[in-house]
Amino acid sequence: MKKDIIEEFYLLALVDIVNGKDINELEETIKLYEEDEQYEACAGIQKAIHESGFLTIKEIIERNKL
């Protein structure tokens, strides 16, 4: 179940990144989820941020079938 939550937030964050959302905004979102102790959401968003640091938008889309 927890992996499903992580994967869901990961994909949602990737969509945000592909659509041009600023990484700083996503990092602020992580802080909000941390305050609410929703660590699976944080993990998913952090994974997307990490991947976006070394993948192109095209690679993100192709790898995740977005």
- Tell me the mean pLDDT in the region 49-62: 83
Question: Nearest 5°: phi and psi at 65?
Answer: 50, 50
Distance CA 28, CA 63 (A): 26
pLDDT of the residue at 1: 60
- Tell me the mean pLDDT in the region 58-65: 79
pTM of the predicted structure, to 2 decimals = 0.85
What residues make up the domain containing 6? 2-64
- When divided into structural domains, the chain yields a total of 1
Residue-wise pLDDT tens digits, 3-46? 899 999 999 999 999 899 999 999 999 999 999 999 999 999 99
- Tell me the mean pLDDT in the region 40-53: 94
Question: Nearest 5°: phi and psi at 2?
Answer: -65, -35
CA-to-CA separations, 9 to 41, 42, 63, in angstroms, rounded: 6, 8, 16
pLDDT of the residue at 60: 76
The contacts of residue 40 (CB under 8 Å, 6+ apart) are 2, 5, 6, 9
